[in-house]
Structure formats: structure tokens, C-alpha cells
Structure 1
Amino acid sequence: MEGAGARAQIYSVAFDQSGLPGDVLTNSRVCLKLVTVFFGETLEHNVRVLRKILRGVKLWSSLKHPNINPCYGWTFEFPRNEPHFGIVSQFCPHYNAPRYLLKYPEANREKMVCEVARGLRYLHDDAGIVHGDVKPRNVLVSDEGVAMLSDFGQAEILDLAPINLRDAGRFLTLEYWAPEVFPKVFPATDGDNILYRSMPGDVWSFGCTLLEILFGVAPYSGVHRHHVICALITGQPPFKEVDTTTIFGDVAQRCLTFDADKRLPMAEAVTMLDPPKASAPPMTLASFAG
């Protein structure tokens, strides 16, 4: 096992390519993520769950971009009579951005931010997809040191589980969620709450991810998790101060505006960040406080 969360377990498994034409995969190992599937009491609900899962995986498998972690397929597992939906994707031995940067602190963080921005722009503009859970731990790093967004769509799968705002702090990474997520709670057909997600919400999460990758400081650092929702709703920013005299600081600040309609589109963020424009002197850690 490579890792585990509240609703998922991650494994690296060997893939046997014997008998398959050509090099199907570039690596003999793949990543298998088992997500707990919550079936309801009615057949209608269960069919809806399965259809949404399969639709999401099919869509993920169709995406082709160097900054999107490729999806190879899916499987079902039933350990201890608990159904798990398995997503098979590229295995990244460097794991996610925080673990990679901990091992390689001198890595080019600005390059990583630019790659995440390109991947998210592709999802928004070319594929018309809301990621729904942008954060450093969902940024994987390939053998070649290329940053790739992963795990998009899983947030929508979890929407079909019995989750409400009281569960949110236990299952979701609230610190990266946009402020409009929580006031706009949609009632699901079974009485549970579905949390609102949007492209501007992804942009907010990208702003948080940008600053954390650059400086290693998480949004709402020092704020207890139970108080994060209150901080978001009352207008407390995730970082107390951002140096907007640099390109990265300017992009972060424009991503983290509380007015969702005024947030920077990812296409514009990519234009601002791409070299040589992103080669400006980086911000210092002292320029903002967690």
C-alpha cells in the first residue's frame, strides 16, 4: 500500500504486458486507487452511482495532456463485502508534490506551478471539466519530474455518498475550497447535501496550491480545521498577505479574490506564468504569513 485516506486506498501493482501488442504502458507498475462506493437501498440509486462512476472514468481515460495523470481503466473489488471501485492510472514513484518537494527541496517549484496551471487550463478550456479537488496532494510527479493533476472527478463520485456539512471536515480538504462552496449547498434526492463545485472554485484552489508549492505553507495555517468554514464564510483570506509585485504573487492574489466572477481564468493565468514571464524574482516567505 502506498497511501490511504478516509475513503480510498492507494496501491502500486505490477502490470503484465505479455501478449499485448507493443508497449501499452511506459512503466511495468500502475497505480490502483480503491475508492469506497456507497450503495443505497434502492436499485435506482445504485444504478445512478455506477453510471456516474463509469462516466467519470471514461471521460478521464479520454484526456491526453502532459500535465494530466493518464487513466488506463477501472475495476471492481469486494473486500469484506464492501464494494470498492478501482481506478487504474500511471504510477508515479515520486508520489505527490509535497513528498517530492520534501525529498528534493531544491526542485524548480516555479516550473511545477506552471505545469499545474497548464493542466488545469486544459481541463477547463479544452475538456470543459471541473476538477473539484485541486490541492498539492493531487499533483503527482512523473519519473521525468513533470507535474500532473490527478483525482479529478473523484469529488463528484463522493457526492453520491451520504455526506453533509458535518462530515465535510472529516472527508474533505476544506482549506483549499472556495468560499462560495459552503453557502451553496444543493439538496440531493436522498436528502443529503451536495457541495457546489465550479471552475472559479478550481481557480481559488489553484491559488492556494500555487503558494503552498512555492513556500510549503498551507492555506489557513494556524486556523483549526473546525474553524476553516467559518473563516471562509466571514471573508478571512487563506494567507494574510501576498506580495503582488511579482508575477506569481499577482496571479495568486487574483485567484484568491472572494468574488468568484472576478477570479483569473486559467487561460490568463497560464499566459502570465509561462516562461520567460515567470522568470521574475520569486516572492520571499516573509512576504505573507500563514
Structure 2
Amino acid sequence: LLRELNRWQPLDHRHILPLYAVCRMRGRLTLVMPFMENGDACHFLQLNPHWDIKKILVETAQAVDYIHNTAGVVHGDIKGANILISATGTALLSDFGLGTTIAAAKDITEPSIRYARTAQFSAPELFADTAANPDEPFRIRSKTTMSDVFAFGALIYELYTGAPPWAGMSDHVIALNLCRGSMPDRRGYTRTGQEITDSLWDLCERCWRSAPMERP
């Protein structure tokens, strides 16, 4: 928690949820931040299905650009549940619990692995060894800016379809699909009145390229 605080609190951007302080309540450390009455992006879009999803994506992309290119931070868990919506409809990136500094990520060797929270948003290079051994718990290597880009493509899919990629599949099956170069099906889930355009689907596919350096 203190590591998350040290990484999150200095961030200063209009589309990043500010972290005000940390305090101890009933013996537990607690993060203090603004209350977002609209909840996360997924919940907000369920209640407002005709809201401009592109606006949420653009604002999130601006936050990601800031943490990567100005703050030198990898988020590590980009998904709809970590995009909060303000009372005025502004998207704010939150929860840097899986994040790390870019410099630290580069120093971590390949065998260094740690538990992940969200398989559906993880890039294939992060858990190739898990695909080979289904008896092992879901583990990943250190995340990078390029794995954040991969997750952003999954975020596009989630917000437009109403479900994360590979919904209902086990971590092992997801790992196998990604390591084989498979992509989620564009068809299936759709939100009322909003579908992924050809240009947005092209962006998803570029974010999901197997080679990290080929991603936008």
C-alpha cells in the first residue's frame, strides 16, 4: 500500500484520480481520495448506455500518455473498473496497485514474476509460461508500457461490448488463446446503440499485436 501511495500521490493530471492522503483506520492503512458518485466506467455505461464512449477513451488515453511519458510510471491494471467517472462525466484513471516505475520494470529479469489481478487485460508476453503449465497459479512478469497499451485495447472492447475480452474463460484458456495469437470475437456482446467502428476495431487489433514494440 505504501508503495502504491508513493507512486500515485505525486501524479498530477486532470484525468487521474487525486490521492490526498493515507491514514490508519481501525488498524488498517486507508487511501483518501475524492468520492466518485458515478462509480466506474462499466457501471456508468450500464446506467447511461448512450454516453459518448469515445470521450471516456480519449480522457483515459491522455492519462496513460501522462503516466508513461511524463511521470515514468506503468499502471499495470488498466480496465473499466479502474476508470472512475466524476459528477460531470469526466473519466479519471485510478488504482495504481499493480503499477511500477518504468525504470524498475526494465531492471526486472525474466524469471521475476508476481500475481496478476486481471487475465483478460494481460498481454501474452506476461504469462507465456503459465500457458505451458495449467497447474501453476496465474503468474505474470513485470508489466510495461506496452502491456498497458495491450490493456487499453481490451478496455475499448470492454466499454463497447459490456464484457471483458474472453468473458467466462479460465485464465489458462485465455493464456493459450493469446499465446497462439488469437483475438477476441468482435461480434457477440453489444451495447444498445453503440458498436465498435471499423477504425476502433483496427486500433484494438494494433494494441493486441503479439510483438510489444509493434503496438501503438
1:253 has 2:205 as partner: yes
User: TM-score, length-normalised on structure 2?
Assistant: 0.77
Structure 2 gap segments, 5+ residues each: 101-111, 131-138, 188-194
Partner of 2:76: 132
> 1:219, 1:194 → 2: CA distance?
18
1:197 has 2:143 as partner: yes
**Contact 1:73/1:88, CA 8 A, preserved across alignment:** yes
Which residue, 109, 115, 118 being the options, matches 1:173?
A: 118
> 2:145, 2:99 → 1: CA distance?
14
Residue 54 (structure 1) shift: 3.1
> 2:185, 2:50 → 1: CA distance?
26
> 1:89, 1:61 → 2: CA distance?
10
Q: Secondary structure at the match of 1:90?
A: coil
Moved over 4 A (4+): 241-245
1:96 has 2:40 as partner: yes
Q: CA RMSD in A?
A: 2.8
Identity of aligned residues (%): 29
> 1:147, 1:240 → 2: CA distance?
26
Closer/same/farther in 2, CA of residues 60 and 222 from structure 1, 3 Å limit = closer
**Contact 2:73/2:99, CA 8 A, preserved across alignment:** no
Which residue, 215, 234, 246 being the options, matches 2:180?
A: 234
Residue 218 (structure 1) shift: 1.6
Aligned residue type for 1:117: A
Aligned residue type for 2:92: M
Which is greater in Rg?
Answer: 1
**Contact 1:207/1:255, CA 8 A, preserved across alignment:** yes
> 2:38, 2:89 → 1: CA distance?
8
**Contact 1:182/1:196, CA 8 A, preserved across alignment:** no
> 2:76, 2:162 → 1: CA distance?
22
Higher relative CO (Cα under 8 Å, sequence separation at least 6) belongs to 2
Residue 215 (structure 1) shift: 2.5
Count residues in correspondence.
Answer: 190
User: TM-score, length-normalised on structure 1?
Assistant: 0.59
Alignment of 1:19-168 (within 5 A): 53-77=1-25, 84-152=28-96, 154-156=97-99, 168=115
Deviations 1:1-31 (A, max 9, x none): xxxxxxxxxxxxxxxxxxxxxxxxxxxxxxx
Residue 220 (structure 1) shift: 1.0
> 2:34, 2:58 → 1: CA distance?
21
> 1:86, 1:195 → 2: CA distance?
28
